[in-house]
Chain A
């Protein structure tokens, strides 16, 4: 690794698996449940959080020595809120339909525990380059889970991936549907997202038993 030292690389790879913000720290669950019925929404949400967390971490890290600790939460909120407004406006301008699907959840990135968590736990105590890598890593870890959940929910719930039918046409009864297969409506409801996240956590912990805490 020429570009990144081993320590820096760990900042990105750790949150992808063994320190994943969703499956290990169990943060940011609300949005993971709400918007993962479609892959497209999951992807956009992942990118939005990547943008906000990457830049936000750098900004907070640069300001870390001048923020009075008594009002640091307010400062952090202002930074996140400004970044989220940018994301929201961009989505409204260029992907209006999608922004309607995501509705309040773009705005709610402000309260996403992952973001505040990384600001508090990492950006306030580390330099901008490290903070940037940490932000990217955690946002990617979040996005990976979102995409995994979205993949199962969209495939089993609507029979499509990114809106493209992959199992045939449910009305014309082509492809898999000709055998009597039907879409699982439960997959489109938020409880199923919770169960899928739970199953991912189950698989992850049974593969790496050091993660099991009592």
Chain B
């Protein structure tokens, strides 16, 4: 008997019981159901919510795999056991030993994220007596990509529980949430455990352990990996080349460093019509505009080099797109169809403001080294308002047209 039939039999056995949604979810996750409706006209399409979610996950897989290699590479590089890779195709980057370390650290993050999140989804589905919602499939993949590599797993578990319950289930589950759950998880971690989410110790695997060993009296060199944003904010020299930034051979959260792979993911999402190109493009425009304004202020000499904002304000505007996580946020976070604006015009406004505010927070607030997640959460809250005014504007325009015609 095939697995599909077995699942079908189990599903039939539990039909009508409390546990039914859980088995049903397993069945439809793996296979299309056999049942079809008999009367009326129906469109049969395989691209249901599960397939949509899986498409987004596929777009993120390259980032995840790259993140594994990068985690191992940054670790080895900091320890001094390998030479710098000198570019994307460098021989010391794509090595087994890098991948093994990366997998060792990244896979547990993925497992915990999915385990905790899906468990909560199943429990809520059983209590509420509705089908298990697929919304967590993408969130569960996003979460490990946007946290530092050495984050303790129990913190991740607590944050995921918070994000899924407070960020989503209290509003009524998938499709009803106001805030992006993955970003709620990150915001929770950021405010609850700031020492694990920022600074120069958390981005390279082993830096924290090394610090503890030194504190315990062992004679070792401290290792650290400041992010590019951190270096700029502190007025330090940035040691990474533009190519490194673009290809992602830099310290950072697990999956957001490689701009090349994010762009590939973005193209894939746009091609499959799952991600909104309007939001992606307008976010980048917003970021560029803000960057140009800051550059203009520096060029006009309105701000002295002694100012604490000088370092970040003088970053060339185009570089803002390849440092930090603005690109990742624009492609995978801002485009979340539930929390984004729904109208086309609204999407332009929504995206533009995300980019604009992201760079503003990045430059002006030293306490928040990266403002992308805060900007997206803020605009998530405003998305319904934006839509409301776009729709009202349209209604007004058409009323006017009607009046002219009838008059």
Contact = CB atoms under 8 A, between A and B. Distances in A.
Interface of A: 180-182, 184-187, 189, 195, 198, 202
A67 B188 CA distance: 51
15 contacts: A180-B152, A180-B154, A182-B152, A182-B193, A182-B196, A184-B158, A185-B191, A185-B192, A185-B194, A186-B188, A186-B191, A186-B192, A189-B191, A195-B166, A202-B170
B154 A184 contact: no
B176 interface: no
Contact of A185 (B152, B170, B193): B193
Contacts of B158: 184
B152 A187 contact: no
Give chain A's interface secondary structure class: helix
Contacts of A186: 188, 191-192
Contacts of B188: 186
B21 to A, nearest CB: 19
Interface in B169-219: 170, 188, 191-196
Interface in B103-160: 152, 154-155, 158
Contacts of B192: 184-187
A202 B188 CA distance: 20
Contacts of B154: 180-181
Contacts of A180: 152, 154
Interface of B: 152, 154-155, 158, 166, 170, 188, 191-196
Contacts of B152: 180, 182
B170 A184 contact: no
Contacts of A181: 154
A182 B194 CA distance: 11
A171 B93 CA distance: 38
A195 B194 CA distance: 19
Contacts of A202: 170
Given A182-B152, A185-B191, 14 more contacts: A181-B154, A182-B155, A182-B193, A182-B195, A184-B158, A184-B192, A185-B192, A185-B193, A185-B194, A186-B188, A186-B191, A187-B192, A189-B191, A202-B170
A186 B158 CA distance: 12
B381 to A, nearest CB: 13
Q: Which 10 A-B pairs have the closest CB atoms?
A: A186-B192, A186-B191, A184-B192, A185-B192, A180-B152, A182-B193, A185-B194, A195-B166, A186-B188, A185-B191
B186 to A, nearest CB: 12
Contacts of B193: 182, 184-185
Nearest to B212: A173
Most B C-beta atoms less than 10 A away, residue of A181, A186, A187: A186
A187 B158 CA distance: 13
Nearest to B196: A182
B344 to A, nearest CB: 33
B108 to A, nearest CB: 14
Contacts of B170: 198, 202
A181 B155 CA distance: 9
A169 to B, nearest CB: 16
Nearest to A156: B192
B209 to A, nearest CB: 12
Nearest to B195: A182
A86 to B, nearest CB: 38
Nearest to B189: A186
Contacts of A198: 170
A207 to B, nearest CB: 14
Nearest to B192: A186
Q: Which of A181, A185, A198 has the most CB of B within 10 A?
A: A185
A205 B194 CA distance: 34
A184 B190 CA distance: 10
A165 B56 CA distance: 46
Contacts of B155: 182
A129 B188 CA distance: 48
Contacts of B195: 182
A195 B165 CA distance: 11
B180 to A, nearest CB: 17
Nearest to A181: B154
B123 to A, nearest CB: 14
A177 to B, nearest CB: 12
A28 B16 CA distance: 45
